[in-house]
Amino acid sequence: MGNVDRKAAIAAYKKREAPAGIFALTCDGTGQRWIGHSPDLDAMPNRLWFTLRLGSHRSAELQAAFNQHGQDGIAIEVVEHFADDVQPQGAALKERLSFWRDKMDALPA
């Protein structure tokens, strides 16, 4: 890939619409669930698996489940998409996360 092509690809990636929302993780082996949010749901799985493989995820329970059951033992599900023009922040985001954690009996991811 030429330098110009690479720069164009990077510029196109930065301009793309990144879907934001709330996701759920479920461990098939234990039934445990975790709820989290991401400003870029498309990139979230790669970031998640990377931190779990390194053993550096901030949720000790999720890290332990990953260590025991592996990537194939944890399912990812998007539970809520945010519209581009209506993305909750601050207290509104915490309220949406709390709603999903209560509804799914889940821990923070």
For every one of its 109 residues, what pLDDT tens digit does the chain have, with 9 covering 90 and above? 677 788 887 777 677 678 999 999 999 999 999 999 999 999 999 999 999 999 999 999 999 999 999 999 999 999 999 988 888 889 999 999 999 999 999 999 9
Q: What stretches of the chain show up as alpha helix (H) in DSSP?
A: 3-15, 44-54, 60-69, 91-104
pLDDT at 16: 67
* Global pTM exceeds 0.85: no
What domains are defined for the chain? 18-108 (3.40.1440.10)
Q: Which residue is it, tokens 């399912």? A: 75
